[in-house]
Structure 1
Amino acid sequence: MQKKDLIDLAARIHDGTASEADIIRYNAWYNGLQRLDAAEPPYPDEAALLGKIHSAIDRKTKVRPLGFWLRAAAVAAILAGTGTWLFISKKPSKQPVVQHAIVQDAAPAGNKAYLTLADGSKIALEDAKAGQLALQGGMRITKTAGGEIIYESDTAAATAPGTAVSYNMLSVPRGGQFRLLLPDGSKVWLNAESSLRFPTAFTGKERLVELSGEGYFEVAKNARQPFIVSSAAQKVTVLGTHFNVQAYPGEAGVRTTLLEGKVEVATAVAKQLLAPGEQCRLNVQSGRMRTVNVDTEEAVAWKNGYFIFNETSMKEVLRQLCRWYNVEADFSRVPDISYNGSIPRNVKLSQAIRMLSETGGVPLKLEGQTISVR
Structure 2
Amino acid sequence: MSETPDAFLYNIVSWPFVNTKAEKIAVAVSGGSDSMALLLLMQHWAQERGAELCAVTLDHGLRPEAAEEAVMVGRVCAERGISHETLSWQWDKRGNLQAAAREARYRLIADWALAKGVDAVCLGHTRDDQAETFLMRLARKSGSDGLKSMPEQFDRFGMRFARPVLGVHRADLQAFLAREDVGWVDDPSNADETYDRVRARKALAALRPLGIDAEGLATVAHNLAMENALVRQAVRDALAGKVTEQHGALSIALRDFRLQWPETRRRFLQAAIGWLSGADYVPRALAVSHLEFALSGKRAHTLGGVIGWVAKDRIWLAREPRAVEGLRGTPFDARWKIEGPLEGLEIRALGEEGLKQWPEWRAIGLPRRVWLSLPGVWNGAELVATPHDDAENRYKASLMTTSFDNWLARH
Higher helix fraction (1 or 2)? 2
TM-score, normalized by length of structure 2?
Answer: 0.26
Higher normalized contact order (CA 8 Å, seq sep 6+, divided by chain length): 1
Greater fraction strand:
1
